[in-house]
Amino acid sequence: MSIGIRRSLTLAAALALMVSACSGSATPAPTAVAPTVGPSTGASAAPTAAATQEIKIGISGPFTGGNALTGTEIKNAVTMAFDAVNWTVGNYHITPVYIDDQSDPAKGAAAYEQAIVSQKIIAGVSGWHSSVAVAQMEITAKYKVPHFFALGAADTINEKWASDKAKYGYWTSKGWPVPDKLVVGYVETLNNAVAAGDFKPTTKNVALFGEDTDWGRTVVKALKSQLAATGWTATDEDYFGQAQTDFTGVIARYKNHDVAVIAGTTTFPDSLSAFIKQIDDAGLKSVVVADGLGWLGDWYKLTGSSSDYVIDQIPGWTTDAAKKFATDYQAKFGAMPSPSAAGLSYDYANFFIKILQTALADSGDLTSASIYKVAQDKLWTGQLKYTAGIIMPSYDYAADSLPDMVVGSGHFTFPVIQYHGGEGTVIWPGDIAKGKFELKP
């Protein structure tokens, strides 16, 4: 996702639902991995004197596997938000249950079911992969446990949600909109550069790539449609497994097709960094759009200077509050966070705390039903929004946006950036741009 998010295990039996998304293809029935209850993972804070009851909240993410670093950022950011309220809402002490999806839909759904059945969570928050979200939606629907603000964004989530809102509405809200609403920034950036004479491609050929998941295919579909509508031709369309790191054959084909642009996404840092470095090593001068390159805080350690001139969309540390969070995070955990994984997760955790506080004020207790009622009556109608975030000016939802948030200026939006030396410069939209589009020399 990507400035510019990307995004907990299945009933081993009921989910061979290998619906794609940001984690891909079908796998054998997994062995369930137990969710981890908070204190053993460092979730701090003893109950306050006023806290007389305990509730358990699920926090979902890829805490092991190919996206473990992203999962760690999600976990750490959510922890910082709950630490600030001492893991307490009213007279309730919150115990976190960390639901490790391992970047796998079946495992993610199995872990989520175990968290409900064995750990007795009453609600959940966070998540990363679209494919995991699609699988976990079956679990939240089965047990009527509301989940909030997972970052999986693929249109398969929206389609499932719309197919039976009464059933799948327990996946109350996405934390990242469908790619159609964001990739327009890439298309406008490229076309504006051509119109300004800053980009003079000899062809309008484009190579599209994506991870072999619902997320990757949704992004490629959106790019392909919007680029075609403005005169570009997709000569190549490739999908990669999460472990793929050899792209020499693919890149040779791109060279033969004289592609002016290489555009796509993957949520797996090792794969994407290898792809970018091999494009550079091959001497291609194509404009590279790598949606999600900056989703991991320390991404530049993986790519080095090969990422210079790459285009991405990712929120940034633009406000004083955002910069303080990044500094505090680095001091606490010893690593630089990403605005997408950590920053958005921190904001959404705070929004979720506000939802818990509202549910308690409205109903006098915290249960799955009282929390879900706030989602239906106040979140979905736009009455309840969050405007104290560090990344976006406002997180709010509306009847015609669900399950996505409202996207646009003043709400949820990503500028387009171009990287130089590991730093991103905003180049779109023009009213907030800090630099111009540049071609790789």
- Rounded Cα gap, residues 221 and 240, in angstroms: 15
Measure Cα distances from 328 to 83, 332, 379, 387, 431 in Å.
13, 6, 30, 21, 30
Residue 339 falls inside a structural domain: yes
Does one domain contain both 54 and 66? yes
Residue 224 predicted with pLDDT over 50:
yes
Does one domain contain both 147 and 52? yes
pLDDT band at 88 (very low <50, low <70, confident <90, very high): very high
Residues 6+ positions from 429 with CB-CB distance below 8 Å: 185, 188, 415, 416
Given this model, what pLDDT does residue 66 score? Answer: 87
Ramachandran angles phi, psi of 46, nearest 5°: -75, 155
Does one domain contain both 226 and 370? no
Does one domain contain both 423 and 277? yes
The enclosing domain of 242 has a CATH number of 3.40.50.2300
- Rounded Cα gap, residues 59 and 79, in angstroms: 10
Residue 393 falls inside a structural domain: no
pLDDT band at 101 (very low <50, low <70, confident <90, very high): very high
pLDDT band at 30 (very low <50, low <70, confident <90, very high): very low
Does one domain contain both 334 and 250? no
Does one domain contain both 91 and 123? yes
Given this model, what pLDDT does residue 2 score? Answer: 37
Residue 188 predicted with pLDDT over 90:
yes
Residue 402 falls inside a structural domain: no
Residue 28 predicted with pLDDT over 70:
no
What does the pLDDT look like over 325-351, one tens digit per residue? Answer: 999 999 999 999 999 999 999 999 999
Given this model, what pLDDT does residue 432 score? Answer: 85
Does one domain contain both 218 and 329? no
Q: Mean pLDDT throughout 225-241?
A: 97
Lowest mean pLDDT among 12-21, 244-253, 278-287, 317-326: 12-21
Say which DSSP state 326 is in: H
Average predicted confidence (pLDDT) for the chain: 90
Residue 288 predicted with pLDDT over 80:
yes
Residue 23 predicted with pLDDT over 50:
no
350 SS3 class: helix
- CB of 276 within 8 A of CB of 290? yes
What does the pLDDT look like over 191-221, one tens digit per residue? Answer: 999 999 999 999 999 999 999 999 999 999 9
Residue, of 358 and 52, whose pLDDT is higher? 358
Residue 430 predicted with pLDDT over 90:
no
> Is the Cα dihedral 358, 363, 367, 368 positive or negative?
negative
Given this model, what pLDDT does residue 38 score? Answer: 56
pLDDT band at 40 (very low <50, low <70, confident <90, very high): very low
Does one domain contain both 293 and 422? yes
Residue 39 predicted with pLDDT over 60:
no
- CB of 243 within 8 A of CB of 213? no
Residue 161 falls inside a structural domain: yes
Given this model, what pLDDT does residue 48 score? Answer: 62
Given this model, what pLDDT does residue 15 score? Answer: 33
Residue 6 predicted with pLDDT over 70:
no
Does one domain contain both 42 and 165? yes
Does one domain contain both 66 and 212? no
Does one domain contain both 173 and 52? yes
Given this model, what pLDDT does residue 356 score? Answer: 98
- Rounded Cα gap, residues 254 and 261, in angstroms: 9
Lowest mean pLDDT among 86-90, 113-117, 317-321, 348-352: 317-321
Does one domain contain both 164 and 293? no
pLDDT band at 44 (very low <50, low <70, confident <90, very high): very low
Residue 14 falls inside a structural domain: no
Residue 10 predicted with pLDDT over 60:
no
What does the pLDDT look like over 299-314, one tens digit per residue? Answer: 899 999 999 999 999 8
- Residue 91 is encoded by which pair of tokens? 């007279």
Rounded to an integer, what is the distance from CA 113 to the centroid of its chain? 22
Range of the domain at 364: 36-177+322-379
Residue 396 falls inside a structural domain: no
Residue 436 falls inside a structural domain: no
Given this model, what pLDDT does residue 378 score? Answer: 98
Residues in a beta bridge with 194:
none
Given this model, what pLDDT does residue 5 score? Answer: 37
- Residue 342 is encoded by which pair of tokens? 């950590």
Helices 130-143 and 105-117 sit at what angle, rounded to 10 degrees?
A: 30
Whole-number percent of the chain with pLDDT over 90: 82
Torsion over CA of 10, 398, 121 and 163, rounded to 10 degrees? -30
Q: Mean pLDDT throughout 381-407?
A: 97
Residue 55 falls inside a structural domain: yes
Number of domains observed in the structure of the chain: 2
Q: What is the pTM of this model?
A: 0.82
Given this model, what pLDDT does residue 47 score? Answer: 60
Residue 31 predicted with pLDDT over 60:
no
